[in-house]
Amino acid sequence: MAQVAADIASALHYLHTTMQILHGDMKSYNILVNGDFVICKLCDFGVTLPLDENGVFDKQSAGKAVYYGTEAWSAPEVIHGGEITDRTDIWPLGLTFWEMMALTAPHTQIEDETMDESVVCLDDSTESMDYFSEKYGTRPPVPANISEKQYADPLALFYCCTETLGSMGPSANHLAIAASDMLEQCLKTMN
């Protein structure tokens, strides 16, 4: 996980600062992994958005373009119509860390066992869609089988990235530095 975090945070830092673009659809499906996690790359730049020099979505340069990410991974500011910034890519990266620990996509589990099965059915029912969509833009609970001791560093990254106030979350650069330090510590303990 540390390698994924370090490589993808570095890629986001490059996009946000050098290219001045927001990825706009950060999620696990857009991460390519080589072999034994030696190299991880970010892909699918089809819905990128321009950022200004302050890391804020540049609406003038964007023309008619709007944020078009995948809802289950979307940051609260996207779901609730807030300001889109470079930090908007950080929230879904945090959900990707959660996904690597939970081994399932975010917001796909029904916690309420008393819920009627018809609501869980994957049809076009609005009740089913409403249940899942109300979870979007929220931090999913950590599954009970995730050991806080074993996953202390990844959990710290997850919580940091999914800070509900996007401006309070880390920049991609700060995240890349923290993940690189975490990776270095992991490698030291393995040797």
Catalytic residue annotation? 25
CA 119 to chain centre: 26
**What's the Cα-to-Cα distance from 103 to each of 2, 63, 154, 156, rounded to whole Å?**
16, 38, 14, 18
> Residue 51: how many CA atoms within 13 Å on its side-chain side?
25
Q: Do the Cβ atoms of 72 and 106 come closer than 8 Å? A: yes
